[in-house]
Amino acid sequence: VPLLPDRPLRQSSPAFDRIKMRLRALPPPPEPMPAPIAAPTATTTGGDGGMVVPYTIDNAPFAGQIPASWTARKTQSGTIVFEGQQGTEAYQATVELEFVPKANVGGSAVAEVANIVARSLAQKPSAMVDMPEWRSNAGRDAYAIRATYAAETDRGTIPARHISVVMDYPDHFAILSYFAPEAFFERYLLVYQQIGESFSYTGR
């Protein structure tokens, strides 16, 4: 840049000024459309009122529903996190959805992926992890892994409970997890179950 010749820079022009005047004359933008809300489902716990909103996954053929009062965000690793409103008790009850492309795990079976999840949970402080338990999920093989461990929070270390279900799909393994402080794990377990029941494969 220092080697470039000096040039006077124009800060405006008659054409630019005309555009700005036209923009000022435009009406205000419309109000944003609310998120679509489906018909009420069975009443959930935690004050969610039973209303749900749909979600889809942008890089995998899956969709589902979450409580209308919960939010969804994507982490840097690609995991989808569903959580209650910040500042409420429900915010500490977290549901996570992770997708593992089968091409990334070189022919591993769903049981092997479940064992990997169990070993990862076993690394947590004071962890107690049950052996993966086989179950059928809409005719597909799945494994449930339950665990307890010590979780670090802004209020110190507290006991937490965790459950993950590893599901087998044509090109992906899907891992749906729920974890919350022991004190109210059962209170939001129904929300996790509803999210799991709405989870569907949209591919062929």
DSSP code string of 16-36: HHHHHHHHHHSPPPPPPPPPP
- Predicted pLDDT at 30: 66
Instruction: For residue 103, give every residue at least 6 positions away whose Cβ sits within 8 Å of its Cβ, in sequence order, or none.
Output: 171
User: Nearest to residue 86, comparing CAs of 107, 100, 71, 98?
Assistant: 71
Percent of the chain with pLDDT over 90: 50
Whole-number pLDDT of residue 32:
52
Specify the pLDDT at position 37.
36
Q: What percent of the chain has pLDDT over 70?
A: 85
Give the contacts of 94 (CB within 8 A, at least 6 positions apart): 81, 82, 83, 178, 179, 180
| Structure confidence at residue 204 (pLDDT) | 64
Tokens 């459950």, residue located: 163
Q: Please give the pLDDT value at position 2.
A: 67
Tell me if 196 sits within 8 A of 176, measured CB to CB.
yes
Q: Output the pLDDT for position 67.
A: 92
- Residues 198, 52: contact at Cβ < 8 Å? yes
The per-residue pLDDT for range 118-145, each reduced to its tens digit, is: 999 999 999 999 999 998 877 889 999 9
For the chain, how long is the longest CA-to-CA vector?
74
Long-range contacts, 20-26 (Cβ 8 Å, 24+): none
Stated pTM of the model: 0.72
pLDDT in tens, 168-182: 999 999 999 999 999
Residue 95, pLDDT above cutoff 70: yes
For 21-31, the pLDDT digits (tens) are 888 888 877 65
Q: What pLDDT, in 10s, does the model give residues 7-20?
A: 666 677 888 888 88
